[in-house]
C-alpha cells in the first residue's frame, strides 16, 4: 500500500518538483501540482525528512492509494463525464492523474474511445510544465505581420464557420463549409484542392492550399493545420454542432494566418490544411500523412496545429504546446515567439494525443498542437453549446500571433533572431 500527497506551487517557495526530488520519494509533476508518493511504511520517514527540509506537507491532504497512479489525457471532459467513479488525484483539464485498481485499468483499456486515453504514469518526471521563455528582440518584419492580425477578419471567419450550424464530416453542410473555406483561400491567391477522404463507408474532404516559395531549390515546407469538422456526440449526426471552439477557432486561425501571409511572399513553401474526419478518429490527417510523397515528407520543417484555441481555461491567457521529442526545437521556437510577441503563459507537454498533430509525430515529422491552456476543461465541446458566446478573442489572437511569428521565421530566410 502506498500513500501520496499533492503539493502545490502556490504554498511553497521552491518548486514542488525540487521538493519532491529532495525528499527521495517518487513524484510526477503537472504544471503547478506535483504528486509525491511512497510505500506506507516509509511515510513517516518521508514526512520527517520533509520537515527537516523545511517543506510543508499538509498531513490532512495525504491519502492511501487504492491502486496505482495512471496518466489520462482527455478531450474536453470526455473521460470524467464517462467515468465519474474514477478517483482523480490531479486535475488539469486535458491531463489527469488517477488512482486506478487493476480491474479498472483492465476495464478502461478494453474500451476504444477516441476522446481519452489511459497510460502508465511516468515516475519522477515532468508530465506538463509551465515554462518561462525569455523574450527576444522583436524582429521588425515579423512585428509588422503580427500587427496585421485582425480581430475583425478572424471573427468574421469564425462566425461564417459557426453559421453552417454543423460541420459534421458526412453532412452537406460540411461540404458547403469546405467549399467556402477553399474559396476564401483561393481568393487570397493560394492553389487550393479538395482531397477526398474515407470515413468508414462515407466520404469527406481535406482542404489543401499551397503557395510555392521563391527559392529555386532546396525549399522547405511549412504546414499550418486545423480540423474543419465538428460533431455533436450527445444528440447525434443531425443535431446542431456549431463547434465554435472545437474547431472553428483553429480553422479560422488558419484562414487568418493565410490572409496575413498572402501579403508576405516567402522563400520556402507554405501549405495550409483544413482536415475533415478529425472527430471520427483523425481520418483526414491520417490519410493525408499516409499519402504524403517521400520528397514532401522530408521537406517539412514544421507542422503547427491549432485545435481549440479560444476558451479561457486558466486564470491568465495560456497556451499549451503539445508535441514530442521530434518537435522539441519547434516547441522552443513557439515558446520564444509567445514571450516576444504575445502575453501568453506557456505550458509544455510531450505526450501527444487526440488531434491532427499525432499522425505527423507518428512519422517523426516535427508537429506541435497549440491549444488553450489546461487548468480546467472546455465542458461545451461536442455539444450544441460550443457557441460563439464562449469565445475569448484575446487568447485566440495571441495564439495566432505566436504561430504566425514562427511560420514567418521558417518561411523567410531573411528573418533570423527569433
Instruction: Give the binding site for Zn ion (CB under 5 A).
Output: 246-247, 307
* CB of residue 279 to Zn ion, shortest distance in Å: 7
* CB of residue 372 to Zn ion, shortest distance in Å: 11
Helix (H, G, I), strand (E, B) or coil at 48: helix
Nearer to Zn ion, 174 or 190 (CB): 174
* CB of residue 255 to Zn ion, shortest distance in Å: 16
Nearer to Zn ion, 99 or 229 (CB): 229
Q: Is 129 exposed, middle or buried (0-12, 13-18, 19+ CB in 10 A)?
A: middle
* CB of residue 22 to Zn ion, shortest distance in Å: 40
Q: Do 89 and 31 contact (CB within 8 A), yes or no?
A: no
Strands (E), 255-332: 269-275, 300-306, 318-322
State the Cα–Cα distance between residues 408 and 262, nearest whole angstrom: 11
Nearer to Zn ion, 351 or 413 (CB): 351
* CB of residue 137 to Zn ion, shortest distance in Å: 35
Place of cell 510555392: 212
Pairing label, strands 125-131, 26-30: parallel
Beta-carbon neighbour count of residue 1 at 10 Å? 9
Nearer to Zn ion, 17 or 307 (CB): 307
Nearer to Zn ion, 247 or 318 (CB): 247
* CB of residue 382 to Zn ion, shortest distance in Å: 9
State the Cα–Cα distance between residues 26 and 332, nearest whole angstrom: 28
Calculate the alpha carbon distances from 87 to 34, 108, 113, 344 in Å: 16, 13, 19, 32
Nearer to Zn ion, 146 or 358 (CB): 358
Beta-carbon neighbour count of residue 126 at 10 Å? 17
Amino acid at each position: 500500500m502506498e500513500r501520496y500527497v499533492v503539493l502545490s506551487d502556490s504554498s511553497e517557495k521552491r518548486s514542488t518538483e525540487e521538493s519532491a526530488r529532495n525528499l527521495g520519494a517518487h513524484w510526477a509533476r503537472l504544471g503547478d501540482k506535483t504528486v509525491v508518493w511512497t510505500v506506507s511504511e516509509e511515510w513517516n520517514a518521508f514526512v520527517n525528512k520533509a520537515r527537516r527540509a523545511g517543506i510543508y506537507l499538509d498531513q490532512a491532504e495525504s491519502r492511501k492509494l487504492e491502486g496505482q497512479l495512471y496518466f489520462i489525457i482527455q478531450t474536453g471532459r470526455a473521460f470524467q463525464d464517462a467515468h465519474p467513479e474514477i478517483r482523480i488525484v490531479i486535475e488539469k483539464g486535458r491531463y489527469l492523474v488517477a488512482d486506478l485498481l487493476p480491474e479498472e485499468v483492465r476495464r478502461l483499456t478494453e474500451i476504444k474511445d477516441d476522446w481519452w486515453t489511459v497510460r502508465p504514469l511516468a515516475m519522477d518526471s515532468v508530465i506538463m510544465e509551465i515554462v518561462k521563455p525569455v523574450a527576444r528582440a522583436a524582429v521588425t518584419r515579423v512585428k509588422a505581420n503580427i500587427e496585421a492580425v485582425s480581430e475583425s477578419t478572424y471573427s468574421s471567419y469564425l462566425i461564417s464557420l459557426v453559421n453552417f450550424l454543423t460541420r459534421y464530416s458526412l453532412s452537406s453542410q460540411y461540404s458547403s463549409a469546405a467549399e467556402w473555406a477553399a474559396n476564401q483561400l483561393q481568393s487570397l491567391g493560394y492553389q487550393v484542392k479538395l482531397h477526398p477522404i474515407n470515413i468508414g463507408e462515407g466520404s469527406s474532404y481535406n482542404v489543401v492550399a499551397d503557395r510555392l516559395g521563391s527559392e529555386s531549390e532546396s525549399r522547405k515546407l511549412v504546414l499550418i493545420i486545423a480540423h474543419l469538422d465538428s460533431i455533436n456526440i450527445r444528440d447525434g449526426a443531425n443535431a446542431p454542432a456549431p463547434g465554435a471552439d472545437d474547431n472553428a477557432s483553429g480553422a479560422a486561425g488558419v484562414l487568418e494566418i493565410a490572409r496575413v501571409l498572402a501579403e508576405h511572399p516567402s522563400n520556402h513553401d507554405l501549405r495550409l490544411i483544413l482536415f475533415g474526419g478529425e472527430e471520427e478518429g483523425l481520418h483526414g490527417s491520417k490519410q493525408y500523412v499516409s499519402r504524403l510523397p517521400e520528397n514532401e515528407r522530408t521537406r517539412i520543417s514544421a507542422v503547427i496545429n491549432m485545435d481549440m484555441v479560444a476558451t479561457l481555461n486558466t486564470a491568465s491567457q495560456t497556451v499549451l504546446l503539445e508535441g514530442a521529442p521530434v518537435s522539441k526545437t519547434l516547441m522552443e521556437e513557439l515558446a520564444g515567439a509567445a514571450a516576444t510577441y504575445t502575453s501568453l503563459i506557456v505550458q509544455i507537454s510531450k505526450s501527444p494525443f487526440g488531434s491532427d498533430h499525432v499522425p505527423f509525430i507518428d512519422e517523426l515529422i516535427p508537429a506541435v498542437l497549440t491549444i488553450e491552456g489546461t487548468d480546467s476543461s472546455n465542458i461545451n465541446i461536442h455539444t450544441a453549446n460550443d457557441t460563439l458566446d464562449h469565445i475569448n478573442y484575446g487568447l485566440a489572437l495571441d495564439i495566432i500571433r505566436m504561430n504566425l511569428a514562427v511560420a514567418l521565421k521558417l518561411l523567410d530566410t531573411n528573418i533570423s533572431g527569433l
